[in-house]
Structure 1
C-alpha cells in the first residue's frame, strides 16, 4: 500500500499508528496461539525422529507421511475420525502401547508410528509407497 494512498484515507501518523497496533496485536495473538497449540515444535519432533530413525531413506519416508498426516503437530486431531498425533493413530489410544505419555510426547508417538509402519508394511519406505498409491496408510 503506498504512503500517498494512506495519506488520502487518514493522516499519516494515525494510519501508521493504527497499522503498528494491528500488526503487534496480530503478532501477539499468533505467538500465543502457536505456543499453546503444540507443546513441541515441529522441528524438535523432527529432530527426535531423526535420532530414532538414523537411516536417511527410512527417515525421509517417515517424515513425508507425518508431514501429510499431521504437519508434525503431535496434538493434531482429525475431528471427523478421532485420529490423533503425528501419525494419526486410529483409535488414538492404540499409541498407549508405546507409553502412557502418548498424548503429549512426540517420541512415544514416533516409536508407535515406526513400529506400526514396520509391522504393517515392513518399513517406513514401504508405508510411504502405499500412502502414495492410496492417499492413506
Structure 2
C-alpha cells in the first residue's frame, strides 16, 4: 500500500535518480517521519520570517502613532471650520509608493482600485470565517479607514491599504503582493481584527470610541 509517507520518500528518491543530491533524500525522510507539530511553522517562526514580532499583536508605539494621527485629524477639522474651508481628507491615493517602509515603487502600478469589488471580496472572506453577521461593522470600519481602496494611505500616520496597516509592510505576512492585492490586505486585516478585537464589531466599537483601531 502506498501511504503518504512512502509517497514522499519515493518522490525524494526519484529526485536523486534524476538530479542527484543525497541531502534532499535525507531531508525528505526526516520531514516524512517528523510529527505534524514539528514540521508545521509556529507563529514565532512566521514572525521571524517577516521581520520579527507578531504581525497581529498589540504594538504600543503604533497605537500611539494612530492616536496622534486621530488627534491631528481632529485638529485639522477644527481649523478648517474656523477658516471656513473643507478639511483635508485623511485618505489619499499615492501615485507611487513612498520610499522606505517596505514599499517597492516598481510594484505599485498606476490606475485606480475598485472599492465596490473589494467590498464583495471582503464580504465573501468574512462569511468564510463565520462572521457573516459582522458585515455591517466591517463595512463601516473600512469605509471610514480607507474607503475600501487597496492603495489608500493616511496622510497623518502613513497607514496603508484597506485595513490601514501601520506600517503597511506588516501585511506581507499574508502575501508578498500586499501593496496592490485587495484580497491579501483583507486577509491580513481580518486576522488583525480577530487577534486584537475579537470581531469586526469589537474593532468598530473601539474605532468609534477612540478614532482608530
TM-score (norm 1): 0.69
Q: Separation in 1 of the partners of 2:111 and 2:149?
A: 8
Who is 2:148 aligned against?
72
- Written as runs of structure 1 = structure 2, the 5 A alignment for 1:15-34 is none
- Written as runs of structure 1 = structure 2, the 5 A alignment for 1:1-137 is 36-38=110-112, 40-54=113-127, 55-137=131-213
Give the gaps of 5 or more residues in structure 2: 1-109
Q: State the Cα deviation string for residues 29-78 of structure 1 (Å, max 9, x = none).
A: xxxxxxx542x311100010011012343122111111001111110012
Contact 1:37 1:75 (8 Å CA) reproduced = no
Q: Separation in 2 of the partners of 1:59 and 1:111?
A: 15
Is the partner of 1:99 in helix, strand or coil? Answer: coil
Q: Separation in 1 of the partners of 2:185 and 2:205?
A: 21
Alpha-carbon distance change, 37 to 78 in structure 1, aligned in 2, over 3 angstroms: farther
Contact 1:65 1:128 (8 Å CA) reproduced = yes
Alpha-carbon distance change, 132 to 80 in structure 1, aligned in 2, over 3 angstroms: closer
Q: State the Cα deviation string for residues 1-37 of structure 1 (Å, max 9, x = none).
A: xxxxxxxxxxxxxxxxxxxxxxxxxxxxxxxxxxx54
Q: Separation in 1 of the partners of 2:125 and 2:179?
A: 19
Contact 1:74 1:86 (8 Å CA) reproduced = yes
TM-score (norm 2): 0.45
Give the gaps of 5 or more residues in structure 1: 1-35
Is the partner of 1:89 in helix, strand or coil? Answer: coil
Contact 1:57 1:125 (8 Å CA) reproduced = no
RMSD: 1.6
Name which one, 1 or 2, has greater alpha-carbon Rg.
2
